[in-house]
């Protein structure tokens, strides 16, 4: 994984010198291209997530989630994950373990963001779930033909319009 991260970062850094969008690759199925205005003077790093800190201090990061990373049954349809954690779908039909897991996660998200302000947008081949509060944003990106993985993206220092605009414009 270290070699893969170094490879991705080296590709990103090479692209930073050009006046083209720079693509952050979160995995085979999830990539977001960021424009030069975001990347100019930015620091790209990988910790738990692949992240970009802009020259003005804004943070944009993300990672791929799977049933395994979220301690869910192997056959769990990850398309449903955002609906449960954002309280768009009732957890009453789930096992007691999963009900508790999703309820706790939803409570944590609600503490940081306002779940009454969740947006859902259908894009070509994707669904974007987003929520923001005080220039802190969270999104889940669901690719319609991929049920095993989803992308979670976070930002600090961006308005909801700026955040969702970056995600929607850059998805590929």
pLDDT, tens digit, 9 for 90 and up, residues 15-59: 444 578 999 999 999 999 999 999 999 999 998 999 999 999 999
CATH of the domain at 166: 3.40.1000
Residue 16: the pLDDT is 46
Residue 125 CB coordination number (10 Å)? 12
Question: Residue 79 pLDDT > 90, yes or no?
Answer: yes
pLDDT above 70 covers a percentage of the chain that reads: 90
Say which DSSP state 115 is in: G
78 token code pair: 């990850």
Average pLDDT over residues 124-142: 97
Looking at residue 32, its pLDDT comes to 97
The values of phi and psi at residue 107, to 5°, are -65, -40
Residue 35 pLDDT: 95
Nearest by Cα to 62 from 169, 167, 172: 167
pLDDT(5) > 50: no
- Domain limits for position 73: 2-170
Average pLDDT of the chain is 90
Supply 90's token pair: 């009732």
Domain count, the chain: 1
Res 14: pLDDT: 45
> What is the spatial distance between Cα 121 and Cα 127, in angstroms, rounded to a whole number?
6
User: In this model, does residue 97 exceed pLDDT 70?
Assistant: yes
Residue 19: predicted pLDDT? 72
For residues 35 and 159, what is the distance between their CA atoms, to the nearest angstrom? 17
Distance CA 18, CA 16 (A): 5
pLDDT confidence of residue 4: 41
pTM here is 0.87
The CB-based long-range contact list for 15-22 (8 Å cut-off, 24+ gap) reads 15/39, 16/40, 16/42, 16/44, 21/170
CB 119 within 8 A of CB 82: no
């Amino acid at each position: 994984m270290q070699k893969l991260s170094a490879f991705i970062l080296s590709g990103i850094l090479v692209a930073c010198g050009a006046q083209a969008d720079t693509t952050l690759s979160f995995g085979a199925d999830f990539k977001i291209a960021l424009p030069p205005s975001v990347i100019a003077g930015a620091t790209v790093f990988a910790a738990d997530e692949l992240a970009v800190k802009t020259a003005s201090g804004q943070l944009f990061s993300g990672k791929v989630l799977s049933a395994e990373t979220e301690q869910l049954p192997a056959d769990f349809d990850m398309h449903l994950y955002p609906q449960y954690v954002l309280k768009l779908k009732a957890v009453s039909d789930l096992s007691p373990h999963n009900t508790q897991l999703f309820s706790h996660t939803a409570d944590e998200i609600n503490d940081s963001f306002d779940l009454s302000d969740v947006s859902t947008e259908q894009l070509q081949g994707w669904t974007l779930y987003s929520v923001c509060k005080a220039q802190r944003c969270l999104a889940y990106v669901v690719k319609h033909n991929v049920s095993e993985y989803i992308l979670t993206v976070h930002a600090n220092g961006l308005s909801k319009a700026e955040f969702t605009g970056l995600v929607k414009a850059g998805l590929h």
